[in-house]
Structure 1
Amino acid sequence: MVYHSLILGAGQAGLAAAYYLRQAGVSFLVLEASEAVGNSWVHRYDSLRLFSPASYDALPGLAFPLPPESYPAKDEVAAYLRQYVAHHQLPVRCNEAVRELTLGADGVFTVQTAHGELRAHRVVVATGSSFSPLIPPVAAQLAESVFQVHSRHYHNPAQLPPGPVLVVGAGNSGAQIAAELACSRPVVLSEKAKPRFWPITLLGKSTVWWTDQLGLLHASTDSWAGPAPVPSGPRVPGGAGRARPAAGESGGLAEPGHEGTGRQLWAAWRGLRAGVVGPGAAGGRRGHVRA
């Protein structure tokens, strides 16, 4: 069988493409490398929330099942993606990591997976851009006493030993992790250029809402596209390049109106704008988080 289209990756982009192919009535299949849709979200750091409210987080054809002004957590995003597949009855095949993508002389693409090959006239590569962590060479020169963990493998502050932390990279994930850690220890956020931090709310409304009302939501390339998915498989020949998992890989801070941790994170986030934040210097080994 030769499909009309194959979609590589069952993240947000891949599922949205699948929705429109379903509307067009053509034959297609979605290939996902992990064992379940949404797994890339499940394995992110524990405190992750989207920086856009639920009213702006829906894929076409299905509203996000949370109050419009709420900020979905990572597990809620994963559950929504699984619900989306079931609601639209999208043909998703999990545990199908793509090994190679080639274009034949007949103009038909061949996709090689661990379970064989599939052919299609068109291929949508929706694997994202933040799968492979980028670790600078200088990291290998640090002393063994310096604990290191990449943001892709960071889950919560309990992973790190006591002491101050250097977070390298001020993208969404790096800044949010720095803000979370700053609630309990000194933190330095390092970036090659001065980062620009936008408020989550303004005059009681989401900043995303304001940019939408002003007609800037789709005109800006800086902030409001939402989280990007983690790729579902290995690099394929001729596929898109992969960048460091920082600014686009996940959501932003918790809504400042949330009780407890969210409010603390917002206070820490504001403090980070001034440079180093956190309690007084603590003893013990240093922590080092790369983002």
Structure 2
Amino acid sequence: MDSDIFRHGGNTTCDIKQFTIITDKEMRNSMEYDVIIIGGGQAGLAMGFSLKQKNIHFVILDENEQTGMSWRKRYDSLHLFTPRSYSQLHGFHLKGDPNGFPEKNEIAAYLNAFKIKNDLPIIHQEKVIKLTQNEKQKFLVATPNKTHKAKQVVIATGAFYNPFVPNVHDGTANFEIHASQYRNPSQIPNGNVLIIGAGNTGVQIAAELSKTHQVTLSQSKPMKSIPQNIAGRSIFWWLETFRIGRAKPNSFIGKILREREPLIGNDYKTVQNNVEIVGRLSEIKEGKAYFNNGITKQVQNVIWATGYRNDYSWIQIDGVLSNQGRPLHSFGVTNVAGLYFIGLSWQRKRSSALIYGVSDDAKYIAQKIQQHEMK
């Protein structure tokens, strides 16, 4: 992989502290670390970089076969709605037009190059199946073949994990997939397509499929959109300039934004002009879709753009999760000493789950880890 896919920006030092490189064989035979990071996506890589800057001994465990693979598995036409200048980790900029929008394989290559450039120790194809603590308060990170030990753990599995499909259908449509399985229009059989969910993913897929299929889009609430550029500047430039991107979860602006997340880009206009838009889906039964506004439609193909749900059932430590299975944390710091999250939506601010926003969160968590070490 070309590790020169990025150039280093001027806002971050290039002088990375000396770090002992751990070979794959040594990592697999090793059993104990100061810190284990669970998850090797952008959040895990950002966290690893920040720990390396502080010369803290760590390892990243990742279930994928290669860094960036989760991006490569997404639909073929996917482009980020953040421009290259806002699609970076720790000041390492993507090559190319800084105002252009990178596609998924470009991001996958960038993340892999970031790992190589910074010699981040990762064990791939190492899926974590259980996290516990022993009587000495050390964390036990179990995988199918071994159990690793750590003084501290960062959960970097991200904001999205398991595809979610609501239980409102009987499986009688001819073809049904979740949006995570969608790749391109040739995958979808002839006939009409019902897309359930009008977030950014649902709207992007609807816009693409409208060129080849008759598409209906089910929305649970009216869509609101903002353009990618305003007055020649990226919308993210405006968000950062007015500090909206840094809005805290429980701030006045943060509460408004969390309730009214807008669509970003021009696909909304395509959908308005070429796609039938209906209300919330009530159920799909015997090949017919029923909507809350009284509309009924015969459906042939269904795509569930209904998002994801985190599955943290593998975390078996009291006090980490709510009764609903959601992380209990303050800016990523849990009530269990030495245990942290990173990469969650609205973890510390509006941009926490985006590539450009996770680096600040990683610096914050790394500081907390260092303080815990010094106790």
TM-score (normalizing by structure 1): 0.78
1:36 to 56, 66, 69: 66
Runs of 4+ in 1 over 4 A off after TM superposition: 220-224
What RMSD over aligned residues (CA atoms) do the two structures have, in Å? 2.7
Q: Deviation of residue 72 (structure 1)? A: 0.6
Aligned to 2:48: 18
Kindly provide the CA deviation profile for residues 63-100 of structure 1, in whole angstroms up to 9, marking residues without a partner as x.
22232101010000000000000111100110100111
Task: Give the deviation of 1:116 after TM superposition.
Answer: 0.9
Deviation at 1:222, TM superposition (A): 8.9
Aligned residue identity for 1:76: E
Deviation at 1:286, TM superposition (A): 2.4
* 1:63 maps onto 2:77 in alignment: no
Amino acid at match of 1:28: F
* Residues 108 and 47 of structure 1, relative CA distance in 2, 3 Å threshold: same
Q: Tell me if structure 2 keeps the 8 A contact 1:147–1:161.
A: yes
Distance 1:273 1:158 in 2: 18
Matched, 1:51 2:81: yes
Distance 1:157 1:66 in 2: 28
Is 1:143 the counterpart of 2:145? The answer is: no
Shift of 1:5: 0.6
Larger Rg: 2
Larger relative contact order (C-alpha < 8 A, sep ≥ 6)?
Answer: 1
Q: 1:209-238 CA distances to partner (integer Å, 9 max, x unpaired)?
A: 2222222122265999xxxxxxxxxxxxxx
Change (3 A) 1:73 1:200: same
Secondary structure of 1:137's match?
coil
Aligned partner of 1:8 in structure 2 is 38
Residue of structure 2 equivalent to 1:199: 227
Change over 3 Å in CA distance of 1:170–1:218 after alignment to 2: same
Structure 1 position 129, deviation (Å): 3.4
**Structure 1 residues 217, 180: closer, same or farther in 2, change over 3 A?**
same
Q: 1:126 to 1:49 in 2, by over 3 A?
A: same
Q: Which of 143, 147, 158 pairs up with 1:113?
A: 143
The 8 Å contact of residues 101 and 109 in structure 1, kept in 2 or not, is answered as yes
Q: Which of 271, 274, 277 is the matching residue for 1:275?
A: 277
CA distance in 2, matches of 1:77, 1:272: 30
Distance 1:66 1:114, change over 3 A: farther
Query: For 1:138, what is the secondary structure of its paired residue?
Result: coil
In 1, distance between residues paired with 2:110 and 2:54? 23
Structure 2 counterpart of 1:169, from 193, 197, 200:
197
Q: 1:183 to 1:128 in 2, by over 3 A?
A: same
Contact 2:216 2:275 in 1 (8 A): no
Identity of aligned residues (%): 36
The alignment partner of 1:123 has SS state of: strand
Distance 1:187 1:92 in 2: 42
Correspondence for 1:152 among 175, 180, 202: 180
* Conserved 8 A contact 1:5-1:120: yes
Q: How many residues are matched?
A: 248
Q: What is residue 286 of structure 2 aligned with on the other side?
A: none
CA distance in 2 between counterparts of 1:14 and 1:169 reads 29
How much does 1:120 deviate? Answer: 0.6
Partner residue of 1:238?
A: none
Tell me the SS of whatever aligns to 1:170: coil
Q: Which moved more, 1:58-67 or 1:25-34?
A: 58-67
Structure 1: gaps spanning 5 or more residues: 225-246, 257-264, 277-283
